[in-house]
Structure 1
Amino acid sequence: MIKQILGKLPRKPSKSSENREFGGSSAPSSNASTSSRSNDLVSNNISVNLDHTPLPGPNSASNLGYGEGSKFPQVGHPKLNGNTIVASYEALPGFRDVPSSEKQNLLVRKMNLCCVMFDFTDPTKNLKEKDVKRQTLLELVDYVTSANGKFTETVMQEVIKMVSVNLFRPLTPQPRENKVLEAFDLEEEEPLMDPAWPHLQIVYEFLLRFVASPETDAKLAKRFIDHSFVLKLLDLFDSEDPREREYLKTILHRIYGKFMVHRPFIRKAINNIFFCFMFETEKHNGIAELLEVLGSIINGFALPLKEEHKLFLVRALIPLHKPKCLPMYHQPLSYCIAQFVEKDCKLADTIIRGLLKYWPITNSSKEVMFLSELEEVLEATQPPEFQRCMVPLFRQLACCLSSSHFQRGTGVLVVAERALYLWNNDHIENLIRINRKIILPIVFPALEKNGRNHWNQVVQSLTLNVRKIFSEIDPELFEECLRKFQEEEAKVEEMKTKYDATWKCLEDIAATKAASSEAVLVHPA
């Protein structure tokens, strides 16, 4: 549902001369279109139907005193910014009801009003006040959408203040009945929804439109949307509410596009999140969303690739294949890896060896994922890079071909079946044809055994097709491999016969000695 509401981030943003490293940044929506969407926000119970395209926006509240430990007033506290709120929490006049000269002051007052926090865990408390705040937030969204003049420094300061008060909060994990959950079980769990989402969503929409607005001057806004603000925004990616993570993904995408000065810092901060996830916690709810943003960023990297980007691939992206919860984020990770190969085909050898390093041993479902990703990488691999890694690669594929993996009724491919599908890819098959003299001797034993006695009929059929390909392109090599395989089988059978004879001899000796001992015990001298 949330993906229908927000729309997906573009997988391959178009490049522009201004934003090559980002892969292009979409132009903000026109005032007319955003205004109509603002009306949808009100009429459809805050169900936003908006094309969220990449724009900039990292603001920080560090200069305003909004530290992590700062406490903002809740309802019932005597004062908020010097204004008494105990007596009443009333709606302010609409923007249409005041002259143009007073609109900015009214905007500031409305944002101060929205800094009051409510307890959403109890749906019966402060109903009137909550509705007033909700309507005020919707008015702010509409105002930012239809603004036709540059936002001043004062307005930006109040915007970041209001956003910080409402969004930056501790993310306390919700209790689950079963605290020890396997990574694959988490996919089946219902996502936990934040009870404050009806208000949080409007705040996120307000921030998104503020960042996207052409009236937000990046040079001025970067004083408030600073590194501290970006870090706090990234901390929220660990939210258990998928709706919140979708908004954060879109906002971070826009921030990266608009605030070029923050791009290196954002990449480094995401890198640190990955390190903490891989080497410390192996628990983070927003890895998939962060990788989706990175997919667009990597797509826009200028060529030749900087050493910094290659190090990020080797130190962060490739090791992300190790955690048990890989299925939760494998698709966007695979897309990021494929982007690097498309950018620089010489990285194929590094990536394939990295995959082999983290290749799963006992997890068949994960092994099928690796094979799918390997196909994407090989599709962009050129012969020189392929030749560097083909020996260890096809040793691993030979093990996959010999796998007896079986999962009834799961819809998961058999490992051997998925490995054999690599020959259906024309580019990969051509690479194998060119290097058949090295590859066929490695995989031939597995192919021969599969064709004879694999339990799965699909695997047997695919194996026969692959054997036919090899026998047609190089009959002499095929016959030589067959002869060697038969010789090896004969040797194995001969050794087995010797072992059996040896064991039989040992058993006879043991039996003779046992009989002699019994005779001595029965008839002592």
Structure 2
Amino acid sequence: MLKKIIKGSHRKPSKSDSNEPGSIFGYGQPATRNSGSVSTANVVVNHASRAGPPPPPSPNSSGPGPISSMGFGPPPSGPVDPLPLFRDVPVSERQSLFIRKLQICCFQFDFSDTLKSAREKEIKRQSLMELVDFIQSGSGKITETCQEEMIRMVSVNVFRCLPPASHENTGQESADPEEEEPYLEPSWPHLQLVYELLLRYVVSSDTDTKVAKRYIDHSFVLKLLDLFDSEDPREREYLKTILHRIYGKFMVHRPFIRKAINNIFYRFIYETERHSGIGELLEILGSIINGFALPMKEEHKLFLVRALIPLHKPKPISMYHQQLSYCITQFVEKDYKLADTVIRGLLKYWPVTNCQKEVLFLGELEEVLEATQSAEFQRCMVPLFRQIARCLNSSHFQVAERALFLWNNEHIVSLIAQNRSVILPIIFEALEKNIQSHWNQAVHGLTVNVRKMFLEMDAELFDECQRQHAEREAQAREMDEQRELTWKKLADVAAQRGGEDMITV
């Protein structure tokens, strides 16, 4: 019995524990929309060997006591007095003043009421501005303790529960993300300065990465990535710049950041199809891909196949397609042998009923084909031009028009000309059908131009395709006539055997 009690006291870790620092999945609690209250006790630094910090002193006290245990600081219980400017105190006291200003900046205020705590809000804003100027000026190298407390202050302010998106918990069907009004963070006057302080710290030449990586660790990076789901575009823009700078400066974090972004994409593609920051993450990746060394690692090729290409599947692709197309094209320009993989991936996720999405795919296809060489083009041209033929006959004029615009690209035309004996028989019927029956005059005119182009390329091949097309049409007419004749014979036989019992339609 005693053994059972002792055994029961060791709690089995729950699934939620996997989101503690060190988890690689990128879904930690501090920035999830539905998480409850959050403690920042181990937000930034994994100091397992250090004792817990003592309670913080009053913001007006003179001692530079730690602020580590403040968590999400409540509003100040008493009045907050402004502290002197850095230039008004001796150099020897500036580190102490730096920490005291950080303490003031840890207090949280209610921005739903603009008149509430207006004086204290202004004091905090001024303190943040002074901290930003102090870091930017480089007038004094801040100590390791100040760096630690500064990152803790940043964590207290930015790592928070995001408000529910407009489609959540309302009982309404989710609207088109492009039509939704973005939620603007009311505390942005303070939040912007906190992000600016973090950015200035990361890009500062005085920041030693060996020291800073103790505080800007994997846990910190994961929580920054969680914040990319913020609906406020101003916040996402700052996050994009900061994460890009962290990736550039902290080489030790690079594989981890790529893997964490991977996991965000997987969840978006296969679970939620809802995330506000996919475009910004892809912008960062576009720059990262541009710096990949050759020959390209297998890890990067797997990222293309498993994450980037499947990003063509979700419905809200229009929100991030420009950035996605850039990343895909970067891969093909880096390694032309990937063109076949990319084109077959596009064909796999080609939309069936979404015409606007189809127009986006055709635009991206043109960019990829521009970077494609002849050998890779030949591997995928048959399924590719079967799809293009379907697009040529689309009743949506923008799809048909965009497909015909491919013949305005000189490189694509040269690839088609080299392989015309395979391509023209595939699309000839689609061209003839457009000329005979497409309702849109612009599509009709473009089709005539493309047809003329093929005629000038190879008149003999064109005549052969025309002859085969005429034969197929004659066979089809003959089959229709034979079918009609068979039904007529059946009707005559039925009438002879008992016309009164036959039901005619």
Q: What TM-score results when the alignment is normalised by the length of structure 1?
A: 0.81
What CA distance in whole angstroms lies between the structure 2 residues aligned with 1:325 and 1:70? 40
Is the contact between residue 72 and residue 157 of structure 2 (CA under 8 Å) also seen in structure 1?
no
Residues 155 and 477 (structure 1), Cα distance of their counterparts in 2 relative to 1, 3 Å cut: same
Higher relative contact order (CA 8 A, sep 6+): 1
| Structure 2 counterpart of 1:279 | 270
Equivalent position to 1:428, from 412, 422, 435 = 412
| Structure 1 counterpart of 2:289 | 298
What CA distance in whole angstroms lies between the structure 2 residues aligned with 1:478 and 1:310? 40
| Structure 1 counterpart of 2:26 | none
**What's the C-alpha RMSD, in Å, of the aligned pairs?**
1.9
SS at match of 1:122: coil
| Structure 2 counterpart of 1:522 | none
Post-superposition offset of 1:188: 2.1
Equivalent position to 1:440, from 424, 433, 439 = 424
Query: Are 2:433 and 1:449 equivalent residues in the alignment?
Result: yes
| Structure 2 counterpart of 1:324 | 315
What CA distance in whole angstroms lies between the structure 2 residues aligned with 1:488 and 1:60? 71
| Structure 2 counterpart of 1:492 | 476
Query: Are 2:300 and 1:309 equivalent residues in the alignment?
Result: yes
> Can you list the C-alpha shifts for 1:425-469, whole angstroms capped at 9, x where unaligned?
000000000000000000000011111221111111111111111
| Structure 2 counterpart of 1:49 | none
What CA distance in whole angstroms lies between the structure 2 residues aligned with 1:140 and 1:87? 23
Residues 512 and 180 (structure 1), Cα distance of their counterparts in 2 relative to 1, 3 Å cut: farther
| Structure 2 counterpart of 1:237 | 228
Equivalent position to 1:107, from 98, 105, 115 = 98
What CA distance in whole angstroms lies between the structure 1 residues aligned with 2:89 and 2:373? 67
| Structure 1 counterpart of 2:73 | 73
Is the contact between residue 73 and residue 117 of structure 1 (CA under 8 Å) also seen in structure 2?
yes
| Structure 1 counterpart of 2:172 | 179
What CA distance in whole angstroms lies between the structure 1 residues aligned with 2:216 and 2:110? 28
Equivalent position to 1:482, from 427, 445, 466 = 466
Q: Which moved more, 1:218-227 or 1:119-128?
A: 119-128
Post-superposition offset of 1:71: 4.1
What CA distance in whole angstroms lies between the structure 2 residues aligned with 1:335 and 1:131? 42
Equivalent position to 2:337, from 325, 334, 346 = 346
Query: Are 2:500 and 1:516 equivalent residues in the alignment?
Result: yes
Equivalent position to 1:96, from 70, 87, 98 = 87
| Structure 1 counterpart of 2:389 | 398
Post-superposition offset of 1:151: 2.8
Query: Are 2:487 and 1:503 equivalent residues in the alignment?
Result: yes
Is the contact between residue 136 and residue 200 of structure 2 (CA under 8 Å) also seen in structure 1?
yes
Post-superposition offset of 1:510: 4.8
> Can you list the C-alpha shifts for 1:404-441, whole angstroms capped at 9, x where unaligned?
115xxxxxxx1111111111100000000000000000
What CA distance in whole angstroms lies between the structure 2 residues aligned with 1:360 and 1:114? 50
Task: Letter of the 2:418 partner, please give it.
Answer: I
1:343-382 equivalent positions in 2, closer than 5 A: 343-382=334-373
Is the contact between residue 148 and residue 215 of structure 1 (CA under 8 Å) also seen in structure 2?
no
Post-superposition offset of 1:115: 0.5
SS at match of 2:315: coil
What CA distance in whole angstroms lies between the structure 1 residues aligned with 2:115 and 2:140? 40
| Percent of aligned positions that are identical | 66
> Can you list the C-alpha shifts for 1:70-98, whole angstroms capped at 9, x where unaligned?
842311xxxxxxxxx52321111111111
What CA distance in whole angstroms lies between the structure 1 residues aligned with 2:324 and 2:165? 27
Q: Which moved more, 1:377-386 or 1:145-154?
A: 145-154
Is the contact between residue 218 and residue 259 of structure 1 (CA under 8 Å) also seen in structure 2?
yes
- Which structure 1 segments of 5+ residues have no match? 1-58, 76-84, 407-413, 519-525
Is the contact between residue 435 and residue 444 of structure 2 (CA under 8 Å) also seen in structure 1?
yes
What CA distance in whole angstroms lies between the structure 1 residues aligned with 2:171 and 2:180? 11
What CA distance in whole angstroms lies between the structure 2 residues aligned with 1:318 and 1:252? 23
- Which structure 2 segments of 5+ residues have no match? 1-42, 54-68
| Structure 1 counterpart of 2:34 | none
Residues 511 and 156 (structure 1), Cα distance of their counterparts in 2 relative to 1, 3 Å cut: farther
Residues 509 and 62 (structure 1), Cα distance of their counterparts in 2 relative to 1, 3 Å cut: farther
Post-superposition offset of 1:119: 1.4
Is the contact between residue 73 and residue 156 of structure 2 (CA under 8 Å) also seen in structure 1?
no
What CA distance in whole angstroms lies between the structure 2 residues aligned with 1:86 and 1:400? 67
> Can you list the C-alpha shifts for 1:472-502, whole angstroms capped at 9, x where unaligned?
1111100000000000000111111112222
Is the contact between residue 149 and residue 215 of structure 1 (CA under 8 Å) also seen in structure 2?
no
Equivalent position to 2:116, from 117, 125, 128 = 125
| Structure 2 counterpart of 1:135 | 126
SS at match of 2:294: coil
Residues 133 and 516 (structure 1), Cα distance of their counterparts in 2 relative to 1, 3 Å cut: same
Post-superposition offset of 1:505: 3.3
Query: Are 2:448 and 1:464 equivalent residues in the alignment?
Result: yes
Is the contact between residue 62 and residue 229 of structure 1 (CA under 8 Å) also seen in structure 2?
no
What CA distance in whole angstroms lies between the structure 2 residues aligned with 1:173 and 1:429? 50
Is the contact between residue 269 and residue 311 of structure 2 (CA under 8 Å) also seen in structure 1?
yes
What CA distance in whole angstroms lies between the structure 1 residues aligned with 2:458 and 2:376? 23
Is the contact between residue 318 and residue 351 of structure 1 (CA under 8 Å) also seen in structure 2?
yes
Post-superposition offset of 1:147: 1.6
> Can you list the C-alpha shifts for 1:304-338, whole angstroms capped at 9, x where unaligned?
11111000000000000000111010000000000
Post-superposition offset of 1:507: 3.9
Task: Letter of the 2:458 partner, please give it.
Answer: D
Task: Letter of the 2:404 partner, please give it.
Answer: L
Task: Letter of the 2:463 partner, please give it.
Answer: E
Residues 144 and 513 (structure 1), Cα distance of their counterparts in 2 relative to 1, 3 Å cut: farther
Task: Letter of the 1:445 partner, please give it.
Answer: E
Is the contact between residue 118 and residue 126 of structure 1 (CA under 8 Å) also seen in structure 2?
yes
What CA distance in whole angstroms lies between the structure 1 residues aligned with 2:365 and 2:70? 48
What CA distance in whole angstroms lies between the structure 2 residues aligned with 1:416 and 1:196? 48
